Chain A
Amino acid sequence: MEKEESVIKAIEEIASQLGEESVLVDDLDRSAYSYDASGMQAVPSAVIRPSTADDVSFVVEVANKFGIPITPRGSGTSLVGGPLPVSGGFVVDMQKMNGIIDKDEENGLVRVEAGINVRELNEIFPDRFMPINPDGAGFSTVGGLIAEDSASPLSIRYGTMGDLLYGVEVVLPNGEIILVESPGPPSRRSILNLLVGSEGTLGIFTSALLRLPRRPENRIAYKIELTDISDALILQEEIEKSGIGVSAFEVYHNYKELVEGAGTEAVAFIEISGTQECIEIWDSRLKSILGNMEFPFESMTEEKADNIWEGRKNLYEVAKVREEALKVVSLRVYPSLVRDTVQEADRTGSRLKLPVISVHNPLLGWVIVAFLYNPIDEKEVERAERAVSNVISKSISLGGSVGYGLGAGINRITQDMDEGFVSLLSIIKETLDPSWIMNPGKLIER
Chain B
Amino acid sequence: MGVDFNDDLRKELGRCIGCGACNIPCPMFHIEDLRETEGARARIKLLSMLGSGNMELTEEFLSYIFTCMNCGLCSKVCPVNIDVFGAIISARSSLIDMGYVPLVTVDMREARRSTGSPIGDGLVKGVWLPPDFQPSPNAEILYFAGCWSHTVPEVALASYKLLQQISESVTTIGFDEPCCGGLIYVLGERDNAEDSKNTLIEAISKLSPKSVISGCSLCTSVFPDLGFTSFSSFIEKMLDEGKIRIRKSLKPKRNKIFLIPSCKDSKLASRILSRIKNIELLEVPEWVCCDCGATLLYSTDPDRFSRWLEKVTDIARDLEANQIVVEEPSCYSMIFKMLGKNKHKGAKIVSFPHFLLELIT
Q: Interface of A with B (CB < 8 Å)?
A: 24, 26-29, 31-33, 35-39, 49, 75-77, 93, 95-96, 98, 115, 119, 135-139, 311-313, 316, 319-320, 323-326, 374-376
Contact = CB atoms under 8 A, between A and B. Distances in A.
Given A312-B79, A375-B11, A28 B24 contact: no
Contacts of A76: 18, 20, 36, 41
Contacts of B244: none
A24 B52 CA distance: 24
B45 A35 contact: yes
Given A32-B46, A323-B15, A93 B36 contact: yes
Contacts of B19: 37, 77, 135-137, 139
B5 to A, nearest CB: 10
Nearest to B33: A96
A192 B20 CA distance: 29
Nearest to B9: A376
Interface of B: 7, 10-11, 14-21, 23-24, 33-37, 41-42, 45-46, 49, 52, 55-56, 58, 60-61, 64, 77, 79-81
A284 to B, nearest CB: 35
Contact of A319 (B21, B36, B41, B80): B80
A325 B79 contact: no
Given A37-B19, A77-B20, 15 more contacts: A24-B35, A28-B60, A31-B45, A31-B55, A32-B37, A49-B35, A93-B35, A95-B36, A98-B34, A135-B20, A137-B20, A311-B79, A319-B17, A374-B14, A376-B10
B261 to A, nearest CB: 20
Contact of A37 (B20, B24, B49): B20
B35 to A, nearest CB: 7
Given A139-B20, A320-B79, A325 B60 contact: no
Contacts of B17: 37, 39, 316, 319, 325-326
A28 B36 contact: no
B32 to A, nearest CB: 10
B94 to A, nearest CB: 15
B36 A137 contact: no
Contacts of A138: 24
Contacts of A32: 36-37, 42, 45-46
A325 B79 CA distance: 12
A323 B20 CA distance: 18
Contacts of B64: 28
B15 A28 contact: no
Given A26-B60, A27-B56, A37-B17, A323 B11 contact: yes
B21 A137 contact: yes
A29 B52 CA distance: 18
A35 B37 CA distance: 11
Nearest to A378: B52
12 contacts: A26-B60, A28-B46, A29-B35, A29-B36, A32-B37, A35-B45, A49-B33, A76-B18, A139-B20, A313-B79, A323-B11, A326-B17
A127 to B, nearest CB: 18
B49 A31 contact: yes
A75 B23 CA distance: 9
Contacts of B77: 137
A139 B18 contact: no
Nearest to B43: A32
Nearest to A30: B37
A139 B24 contact: yes
A37 B78 CA distance: 13
Listed from nearest, the 5 A-B pairs whose CB atoms lie closest are A375-B14, A32-B37, A316-B79, A137-B21, A37-B18
B61 A325 contact: no
Contact of A324 (B10, B15, B23, B24): B15
Contacts of B35: 24, 29, 49, 93
Contacts of B60: 26, 28
A27 B46 CA distance: 10
A326 B49 CA distance: 17
Contact of B14 (A35, A313, A325): A325
Nearest to A135: B19
A443 to B, nearest CB: 21
Contact of A28 (B7, B37, B52): B37
A35 B79 contact: no
A207 to B, nearest CB: 17
Contacts of B34: 75, 95-96, 98, 115
A29 B24 CA distance: 18
A416 to B, nearest CB: 23
A370 to B, nearest CB: 10
A137 B10 CA distance: 25
A376 B7 CA distance: 8
A182 to B, nearest CB: 32
Nearest to B34: A95
B310 to A, nearest CB: 16
A329 to B, nearest CB: 14
A380 to B, nearest CB: 11
B21 A139 contact: yes
A135 to B, nearest CB: 5
Contacts of A320: 79-81
Nearest to A91: B36
Contacts of B23: 75, 139
A311 B79 CA distance: 8
Nearest to B20: A139
Nearest to B7: A376
A24 B37 contact: yes
Contacts of A26: 60
Given A29-B37, A136-B79, A35 B18 contact: yes
B45 to A, nearest CB: 5
A153 to B, nearest CB: 15
Contacts of B18: 35-39, 76-77
Nearest to A137: B21
Contacts of B46: 28, 31-32
Contacts of B7: 376
A26 B41 CA distance: 18
Contacts of B56: 27
A316 B45 CA distance: 18
B18 to A, nearest CB: 4
